[in-house]
Amino acid sequence: MRTENEIKYLMKAIDAFQKRLIVISPDFEILAANTPIAELTDREPVGNYCYELFNDRSSPCDNCAAREALADKRPSVCPKPGSLAQKGLMPCYYAYPIYNGEEIEAFVSMDFDIPTIDLLEEKLQRSNAFLEKLLQSAVDCVVAADMSGNIFLFNESAVDLFGYSLKEALSNLNVRDIYPGDGAYEVMKAMRGPSHGGKGRLITFHTNGLAKSGEQIPISLYASVIYEDGKEIASIGFFHDLRNRIKIRKELETTQVQLLQAEKMASLGKLAAGVAHQINNPLGGIILFAKLILEEYDLEDGVKNDIERILKDADRCRNIVKELLEFTRQTRHLMRPNDLNHALKRTLFLLESQALFQNIEIKEDLDENLPRANSDVQQMYHLFMNLILNAVQAMDGKGTLTLKTVANPDKNHVQIEISDTGPGISEEALTQLFEPFFTTKEEGKGTGLGLSLAYNIVENHGGSISAENNPDQGAIFIIKLPIAHKKKQGEERGE
């Protein structure tokens, strides 16, 4: 309990307080008033109703802080910004309840000077403007909506990502529209559960957003529910576009595949080189002794023809071994002007004797004046081998393989076309043809890496590769590679 001395000084402090202050009952009867109130009226304030005494009304003022405090059972500030019309003699800008236990016994109502209210409003407006600028300038998309899904915040990044204008988003768009299917339901379900950051929060939740164009965009979502008095009133989400991250990850995976394939090719090259060297020795003996037989013995014509056939086939084997050694030779990547006609012919020479090519008709339409292309010839061998084998396999052992080279009209690129008379490529497959691990072959018959590696070889050479269906039959692969600079035309072929 306070002493009489404390009560005396408290009363003096209240009377000396420059703001007008009254204590009113829940039915607005004045129970007490400080000294500045006496300056407003000649009548005794205590016992009168505040709305009658100060504003000559028959009921409480519409813009009354005490009235709002009574309804909300908590302190209230009035008038709200932009509603300062009813000033009267005693503008009740601030009111707070006095409790007796759990029951409201009375209210304290007091005024503020208008400049003070204006200053508070100005600070509030500045804070709101700063917060809005902060959200609008965020790199990630920021979207907020009420619990019915009506959007009231849609920043510039959200406009860019989803394709809706700010006017569209705030007037017509529902938050459910920026998710495919039941995406919004799944997000709210996760946000209300404990598994993704706690109730009312989402941390690094991966889902898809839906743009105005219909494109589904992979996103990482951070979101939270906004509560007021324990009740959900809104939600806010920060959307991070994952497309660039996914693209980088795919490029990394492709690079890893290329490295593995390069190691595999290096191992195969060493194996082939070893086998070729081992074959060279007996081949040399066969050729030597066959020539000795021809020179030292008088043979019948039939026998002589047979030995000459042996020599001819042995020479062919030696040439194949020589080409195989050249083809698998491991060197550092060396970019120089190369004759791509020669590279195509060398690749074909190694392949055409295989059983797969027995019923394949090969047509060559090679431009004799084809400019040299700045390239790594070993990679060109791998590129052409992949595409030629792919074309022959597509024809299932019978058809026509056509190889064509030509200089583009712009004189900046050479064009190589490899076409077949197989069944062609489906429209769906055309869009995925060069993706790693995509294959149209039966399980176990293809890795889905060949065309992906071909694509990367061409891209690393600054060129382009595309596939399309022939109007008549089959498919055609078109490779464009930059022509070597004129000052390099005199350099060695790099074959």
**pLDDT tens for each residue of 58-102:** 888 877 888 888 888 888 877 554 444 344 466 677 888 999 888
Query: Which residue bears the tokens 């022939």?
Result: 470
Residue ranges of domains in the chain, CATH in brackets:
4-113 (3.30.450.20), 138-241 (3.30.450.20), 244-330 (1.10.287), 334-495 (3.30.565.10)
Kindly report which listed range (95-109, 232-246, 310-324, 473-487) carries the lowest average pLDDT score: 310-324
Q: Would the pLDDT of 489 be above 50?
A: no
pLDDT score for 152: 92
pLDDT score for 135: 83
In what helix (H) or strand (E) does residue 206 lie, and over which residues does it extend? strand 201-210
Say which residue, 352 or 217, is predicted with more confidence.
217
> Which is nearest to 50 in space by CA: 73, 20, 79, 75?
20
pLDDT score for 119: 64
- What angle separates helix 340-351 from helix 377-394, to the nearest 10 degrees? 50
How is residue 331 written in tokens?
């060197």
pLDDT score for 223: 92
How is residue 193 written in tokens?
């559960």
Cα–Cα distance, 453 to 447 (Å, whole number): 11
Distance, CA of 350 to chain centre: 44
**pLDDT tens for each residue of 407-455:** 876 778 999 999 999 988 888 777 777 776 666 665 545 545 567 778 8
3-class DSSP state for residue 239?
strand
pLDDT score for 233: 92
Cα–Cα distance, 339 to 375 (Å, whole number): 9
Type of residue numbered 206: H
When pLDDT is cut at 50, 70 and 90, the band that residue 492 belongs to is very low
pLDDT score for 493: 41
Q: Would the pLDDT of 106 be above 90?
A: yes
Model confidence, pTM: 0.42
Cα–Cα distance, 89 to 67 (Å, whole number): 17
φ, ψ (nearest 5 deg) of residue 183: -60, -40
Q: Would the pLDDT of 213 be above 90?
A: yes
pLDDT score for 436: 62
> Which is nearest to 36 in space by CA: 96, 113, 107?
113
Q: Would the pLDDT of 494 be above 50?
A: no
- Rounded to an integer, the average pLDDT of 122-136 is 79
DSSP letters, 93-124, are -EEEEEEETTEEEEEEEE---HHHHHHHHHHH
Q: Would the pLDDT of 323 be above 60?
A: yes
Q: Which of 367-376, 445-454, 479-488 has the highest mean pLDDT?
A: 367-376
How is residue 334 written in tokens?
């060396």
Cα–Cα distance, 317 to 411 (Å, whole number): 40
In what helix (H) or strand (E) does residue 256 lie, and over which residues does it extend? helix 243-296
pLDDT score for 220: 93
Q: Which of 170-179, 380-389, 448-457 has the highest mean pLDDT?
A: 170-179
Cα–Cα distance, 479 to 222 (Å, whole number): 45
Q: What is the mean pLDDT of the chain?
A: 82
- Rounded to an integer, the average pLDDT of 102-118 is 75
When pLDDT is cut at 50, 70 and 90, the band that residue 116 belongs to is low
**Residues 6 or more apart whose Cβ sits within 8 Å of residue 38:** 45
Q: Would the pLDDT of 34 be above 80?
A: yes
φ, ψ (nearest 5 deg) of residue 196: -125, 40
CB atoms within 10 A of CB 247: 10
**pLDDT tens for each residue of 256-297:** 776 776 666 666 666 767 777 778 778 888 888 888 888 888
